[in-house]
């Protein structure tokens, strides 16, 4: 299902799952590939745990945003699309989505992957949720000055073979966040596309994500 959230400068399309549920709300933030089949699957996984999940179309202000996940130039086109995105607007749009969840008064979490992992960190600094889960947030090195403002209980996943993000440059600034590193895993290791996927790291990281959320943002069905 989809809905629209008023950002103050237009209506942002947002996908939703488990809209009739009474669990906490989770803001799911996309990779550079948009709200892809993979992101929708993770939303279903979270909804199955009892969360009300929304995934906004962060590229909604741009034109020509369709991406073919089977195309050989997928990464090149996605990077070009990202280059046209206004970061500050992406943050404020995401804050609007989080505020929508906060209005339910049932607890809020952010789960972000890659681009969404960094975006979620920035959003958490601007409008603190109850919890934050960030998978290899690609913008983290440029956002570390915001770390003192990220007061939510936080979980970060990093691949030790990540050529886009050096965890050693980021981890010291993350304070008392729960941090896990995965030997042999590269960037976007949770994405099932063969170019990225690391089966063992993906499975273990998801188990840890579920355990973290169950502990820090429990749902009625998990209690």
143: tokens are 């956002």
* Whole-number Å distance between alpha carbons of 83 and 87: 9
The CB density around residue 176, as the number of other CB atoms within 10 Å, is 7
Tokens of 221: 């069905």
Burial 89-125 (b: 16+ CB within 10 A, else e): ebbbbbbbbbebbbeeebbbbbbbbbbbbbbbbbbbb
Cα 2 from Cα 200, distance rounded (Å): 33
**Looking at residue 99, what is its pLDDT?**
98
Q: Which pLDDT value is given to residue 81?
A: 86
Helix/strand/coil for 117 = helix
DSSP letter (8 states) at residue 111: E
pLDDT of residue 222: 67
Dihedral pair phi/psi, residue 52, rounded to 5°? -90, 120
- Count how many residues are written for the chain: 223
Percent of the chain topping pLDDT 90? 86
Per-residue pLDDT, averaged over 208-218, amounts to 98
- pLDDT over 80 at 26, yes or no: yes
Q: What is the pLDDT of residues 51-99, one digit of tens each?
A: 999 999 999 999 888 888 778 888 888 888 888 999 999 999 999 999 9
Three-state SS at 23: coil
Q: Is the pTM of this model over 0.85?
A: yes
Count the Cβ atoms, other than its own, within 10 Å of residue 171.
15
Separation between Cα atoms, residue 110 and residue 153, nearest integer Å: 11
- CA dist 171 and 156 (Å) reads 9
Q: Is 150 exposed, middle or buried (0-12, 13-18, 19+ CB in 10 A)?
A: buried
C-alpha R_g of the chain: 16
pLDDT band for position 223 (cuts 50, 70, 90):
low
Instruction: For 161-183, write each residue's pLDDT tens digit.
Output: 999 999 999 999 999 999 999 99
The span from the CA of 96 to the CA of 60, in Å, is: 14
């Amino acid at each position: 299902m989809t809905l629209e959230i008023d950002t103050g400068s237009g209506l942002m399309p947002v996908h939703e799952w488990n809209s009739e549920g009474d669990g906490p709300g989770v803001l799911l933030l996309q990779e550079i590939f948009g709200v892809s089949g993979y992101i929708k699957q993770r939303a279903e996984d979270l909804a199955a745990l009892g969360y009300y999940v929304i995934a906004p179309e962060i590229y909604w202000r741009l034109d020509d945003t369709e991406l073919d996940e089977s195309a050989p130039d997928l990464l090149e086109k996605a990077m070009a699309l990202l280059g046209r995105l206004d970061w500050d607007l992406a943050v404020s749009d995401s804050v609007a989505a989080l505020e929508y969840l906060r209005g339910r008064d049932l607890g809020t979490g952010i789960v972000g992957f890659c681009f969404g992992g960094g975006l979620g960190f920035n959003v958490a600094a601007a409008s603190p949720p109850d919890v934050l889960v960030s998978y290899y947030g690609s913008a983290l090195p440029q956002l570390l000055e915001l770390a003192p403002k990220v007061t939510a209980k936080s979980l970060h996943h990093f691949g030790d073979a990540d050529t886009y993000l050096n965890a050693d440059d980021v981890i010291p600034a993350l304070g008392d966040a729960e941090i896990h590193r995965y030997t042999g895993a590269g960037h976007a290791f949770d994405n099932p596309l063969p170019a990225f996927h690391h089966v063992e790291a993906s499975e273990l990281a998801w188990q840890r994500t579920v355990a973290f959320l169950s502990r820090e943002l429990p749902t009625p069905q998990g209690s």
